[in-house]
Amino acid sequence: MDGRKAAIFDFDGTLIAGDSIVRFIRYAVRRGHLSPLALVGQAFNAWRGVRGRITPEEGKSRALAFLSRMDAARQETFCREFCRDELMPHLYPQGLERLQAHANAGHAVLLVSASPDIYMRHLAQLLPVEAVLATPTDAHGRVTRNNRDGEKVQRVLAWAAQQPIDIDWQASCAYGDSAHDLPVMRLTGHPVMINPKPAMRRIGQGLPEENWGK
């Protein structure tokens, strides 16, 4: 099939170490938007999520609830500065190089993440990507649909359907670190595991693997 190649990148664990929402909460404390004591509640919230006591949507909504105290302009500034000051300096150099290489080759570079869109969307102005497809969040930080597993596939296919040129999926690439990334990665003919977690290495056995880091 003739068409344009795509390059799909996960974010947390793939382009940056750890979970960006944890960095977001810590950044909020440093900027005075959350009390240091709030970290205890946030840690308990995260524990409940890991144990399955609350849904991922509920966990993220609770983590982002402090944003409801900001007006729209303040939110935008805070989230944009977080991406610039806290995320960009900690991206893996290898990941940045790969992003740029795909962009230079004319590929459609997509950032597809389960992290909240309320801050992730600002990376579209900082990275060589054509679209950021992240977990939708409203102005109060509420999350109703977590962007992972099959949801990522649907979001990418919906994006592709709107493009003027068909995507050649067999010639395309995808990068991720978690088993939750595998469904969207397997849309492409060249999925690559980056710093794979144990479950991903087990389920994705046989896929190429790379280790990125500082």
| Residues 86-143 pLDDT 10s | 999 999 999 999 999 999 999 999 999 999 999 999 999 999 999 999 999 988 888 8
Cα separations in angstroms, 42 against 23, 29, 46, 64, 65: 12, 11, 6, 10, 11
E strand intervals along the chain: 6-9, 108-116, 131-135, 173-176, 190-194, 209-210
The one-letter code for the residue type at 156 is V
Give the mean pLDDT of 197-206.
94
Q: What is the pLDDT of residue 57?
A: 85
Q: Which two tokens stand for residue 105?
A: 């080759």
Q: What is the pLDDT of residue 1?
A: 52
CA distance 61 to 21: 11
Q: What is the pLDDT of residue 144?
A: 85
CA angle 29, 33, 37 (to 5 degrees): 50
Cβ atoms < 10 Å from Cβ of 142: 19
**Does 35 fall in a domain?**
yes
Secondary element (H or E) of residue 201: helix 198-203
- Percentage with pLDDT > 70 across the chain: 98
Q: Is the pTM of this model over 0.85?
A: yes
Q: What is the pLDDT of residue 38?
A: 75
**Does 1 fall in a domain?**
no
Q: What is the pLDDT of residue 55?
A: 84
Q: What is the pLDDT of residue 177?
A: 97
**Does 122 fall in a domain?**
yes
- Among 48-62, 142-156, 161-175, which range has the highest average pLDDT? 161-175
Instruction: With cut-offs at 50, 70 and 90, classify the pLDDT of residue 49.
Output: low
Instruction: With cut-offs at 50, 70 and 90, classify the pLDDT of residue 45.
Output: confident
Q: What is the mean pLDDT of the chain?
A: 92
**Does 127 fall in a domain?**
yes
Q: Provide the sign of the torsion angle of the four alpha carbons 117, 48, 28, 38, taken in this order.
A: positive
**Does 45 fall in a domain?**
yes
**Does 171 fall in a domain?**
yes
Per-residue pLDDT for 196 more than 70?
yes
If one counts the domains in the chain, the total is 1
**Does 72 fall in a domain?**
yes
Chain centroid, CA 66 distance in Å = 21
- Pairing relationship of beta strands 6-9 and 108-116 according to DSSP bridges: parallel
- DSSP per-residue codes, 49-98: HHTTSS-HHHHHHHHTGGGGGS-HHHHHHHHHHHIIIIIGGGB-HHHHHH
CATH at 120 = 3.40.50.1000
Structural domain for 56, as ranges: 6-210
**Does 15 fall in a domain?**
yes
- Percentage with pLDDT > 90 across the chain: 77
